[in-house]
């Protein structure tokens, strides 16, 4: 049987790559970005910034971004095509909203079914003019203004994308913009802003809400950025090593932001032999090495309070649960219905096909693990979802390549080197 072995440096983090490009474009001066993730999603952000008048060139392994400042975007001649990238769409809508330009954002079939009003309703309150398809979807036309109103925004739905969009808008708004989160979310934007020496406040209110206060407009001086390795990309190989007998791997240069490695805590509670060693700080983020070896996993309950921190890892956690003894229950997965696919449906459909005892009840998923063998070739569906495709690819190693996966090309959305890294560890 195949096993995972060896040491691997993980590709750059997708979330930070988007933000590194956008904040470099909104800085003044030249930024060198290294270890940028050159995935389809990130390239959508890069090409949209070029359409908005930002000079971006590649020299060997380094990307050079010549920033025009927080009010430096010019009106594009083309539609701004976000492809499959929700991060590109939601963050760039916020970034352009405080510039006096007209922009039309479009996306692929999947992205055009994902809600944009959760962002635009906040932007409309401060003076941006937005026209949405069916009042919620792309294509979207936004008319920005450099006279947006500084107000306090209360974010009801846990979303780092909404928060980041409002932060990017606030960088060019005259006066105090406040953003209040009822549920904490990933804080990559805030960490990168601190690294870039942008002065803003974060505080906890009396009722334990998180409040971010910006006092714009800002002039951000450019600073070189190195992108840390992506923990969500690492999660596939971590689970692979846990479920493939005799596996032992080390993953280097992985970002260890606590809002991104909740899945490691879950896997450890399942009995996973995982060691995390912090090595240094990199552009505001802690990074380190993760060592993993094969383990006998057991089922656990994953509370809904963790869902905001596991949104990208549920597909691969479901693979771990399928190979664990006992029952795993994942609670409160409603947000999974609004990703690249309805991920609850995608997970349940494929694991059922493979003879795993899995069911869905009121946005909760129940999996009874079983180390079953696949004796014949079985067709499985990615639903054009990169994380479903990678999860099935890991399971395919365990099942000795008996899974016929319908569309692996979608993996390039977030991890173009996935197949190369997978083969390297085998």
CATH of residue 163:
3.65.10.10
In a domain, 170, yes or no: yes
Asked whether residue 24 falls in the same domain as residue 147, the answer is: yes
Separation CA 17–CA 34 (nearest Å): 10
In a domain, 2, yes or no: no
Q: Is 402 left (phi over 0), alpha (psi -120 to 50) or beta?
A: alpha
The pLDDT score that the predictor gives to residue 1 is 80
pLDDT digits (tens, 9 = 90+) for 99-143: 999 999 999 999 999 999 999 999 999 999 999 999 999 999 999
In a domain, 5, yes or no: no
Look up the domain containing 279 and give its range.
228-425
Domain final residue, candidates 215, 248, 276 = 215
State how many domains the chain has.
Answer: 2
The pLDDT score that the predictor gives to residue 117 is 97
Domain final residue, candidates 163, 182, 215 = 215
pLDDT digits (tens, 9 = 90+) for 402-425: 999 999 999 999 999 999 999 999
Asked whether residue 244 falls in the same domain as residue 367, the answer is: yes
Asked whether residue 210 falls in the same domain as residue 234, the answer is: no
In a domain, 265, yes or no: yes
pLDDT along the chain (426 residues), means of 10: 95 97 98 98 98 98 98 97 97 98 97 96 98 97 97 91 97 98 92 98 89 98 98 98 98 96 97 97 97 98 90 96 97 84 93 95 93 88 96 96 95 96 97
Asked whether residue 74 falls in the same domain as residue 153, the answer is: yes
In a domain, 9, yes or no: no
Residue indicated by tokens 């947006």: 148
Residue indicated by tokens 């906890």: 204
Asked whether residue 279 falls in the same domain as residue 321, the answer is: yes
Asked whether residue 249 falls in the same domain as residue 132, the answer is: no
In a domain, 36, yes or no: yes
In a domain, 412, yes or no: yes
Three-state SS annotation for the chain? CCCCEEEEECCECHHHHHHHHHHHHCEEEEEEEECCCCCHHHHHHHHHHHHCCCEEEEECCEEEEEEECCCCCCCCCCCEECCCCHHHHHHHHHHHHCCCCEEEEECCCCHHHCCCHHHHHHHHHCCCEEEEECCCEEEEEEECCCCCCCCEEEECCCCHHHHHHHHHHHCCCCEEEEEEECCCCCCHHHHHHHHCCCCCEEEECCCCCEEEEEEECCCEECCCEECCECHHHHHHHHHHHHHCCCCEEEEEEEECCCCCCHHHHHHHHCCCEEEEEEEEEECCEEEEEEEEECCCCECCEECHHHHHHHCCCHHHHHHHHHCCECEEEECCCHHHHHCCCCHHHHHHHHHHHCCCEEEEECCEEEEECCCCCCCCCEEECCCCCHHHHHHHHHHHHHCCCCEEECCCHHHHHCCCCHHHHHHHHC
The structure's pTM equals 0.93
Asked whether residue 168 falls in the same domain as residue 246, the answer is: no
Asked whether residue 205 falls in the same domain as residue 240, the answer is: no
Asked whether residue 158 falls in the same domain as residue 237, the answer is: no
Query: Which active-site residues does the annotation give?
Result: 312
Asked whether residue 367 falls in the same domain as residue 248, the answer is: yes
In a domain, 220, yes or no: no
Domain final residue, candidates 169, 191, 215 = 215
The pLDDT score that the predictor gives to residue 194 is 98
The pLDDT score that the predictor gives to residue 219 is 98
Asked whether residue 94 falls in the same domain as residue 200, the answer is: yes
The pLDDT score that the predictor gives to residue 397 is 96
Asked whether residue 192 falls in the same domain as residue 341, the answer is: no
């Amino acid at each position: 049987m195949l096993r995972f072995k060896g040491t691997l440096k993980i590709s750059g983090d997708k979330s930070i790559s988007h933000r590194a490009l956008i904040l470099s474009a909104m800085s003044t001066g030249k930024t060198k970005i290294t270890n940028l993730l050159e995935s389809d999603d990130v390239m959508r952000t890069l090409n949209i910034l070029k359409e908005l008048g930002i000079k971006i060139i590649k020299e060997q392994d380094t990307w050079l971004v010549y920033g025009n400042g927080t009010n430096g975007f010019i009106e594009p001649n083309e539609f701004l095509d976000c492809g499959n990238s929700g991060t590109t769409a939601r963050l760039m809508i916020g970034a352009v909203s405080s510039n006096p330009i007209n922009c039309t954002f479009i996306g692929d079939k999947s992205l055009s079914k994902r809600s944009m009003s959760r962002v635009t309703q906040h932007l409309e309150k401060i003076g941006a003019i937005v026209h949405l398809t069916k009042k919620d979807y792309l294509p979207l036309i936004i008319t920005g203004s450099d006279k947006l109103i500084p107000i306090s925004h209360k974010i009801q739905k846990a979303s780092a994308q909404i928060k980041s969009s409002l932060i990017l808008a606030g960088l060019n708004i005259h006066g105090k913009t406040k953003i209040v989160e009822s549920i904490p979310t990933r804080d990559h934007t805030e960490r990168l802003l601190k690294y870039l020496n942008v002065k803003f406040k974060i505080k906890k209110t009396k009722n334990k809400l998180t409040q971010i206060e910006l006092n714009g407009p800002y002039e951000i001086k450019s600073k070189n950025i190195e992108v840390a390795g992506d923990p969500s990309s690492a999660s596939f190989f971590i689970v692979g090593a846990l479920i493939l007998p005799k596996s032992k791997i080390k993953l280097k240069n992985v970002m260890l932001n606590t809002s991104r490695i909740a899945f490691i805590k879950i896997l450890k509670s399942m009995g996973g032999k995982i060691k995390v060693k912090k090595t240094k700080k990199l552009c505001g983020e802690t990074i380190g090495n993760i060592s993993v070896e094969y383990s006998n996993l057991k089922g656990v309950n994953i509370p809904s309070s963790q869902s905001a921190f596991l949104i990208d890892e549920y597909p691969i956690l479901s693979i771990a649960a399928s190979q664990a003894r006992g029952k795993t229950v994942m609670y409160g997965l409603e947000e999974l219905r609004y990703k690249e696919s309805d991920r609850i449906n995608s997970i349940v459909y494929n694991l059922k096909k493979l003879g795993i005892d899995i069911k869905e009840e009121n946005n909760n998923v129940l999996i009874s693990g079983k180390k079953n063998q696949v004796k014949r070739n079985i067709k499985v569906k990615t639903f054009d979802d990169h994380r479903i495709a990678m999860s099935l690819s890991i399971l395919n190693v365990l099942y000795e390549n008996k899974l016929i996966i319908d569309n692996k090309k979608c993996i390039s959305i977030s991890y173009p080197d996935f197949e190369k890294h997978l083969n390297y560890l085998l």
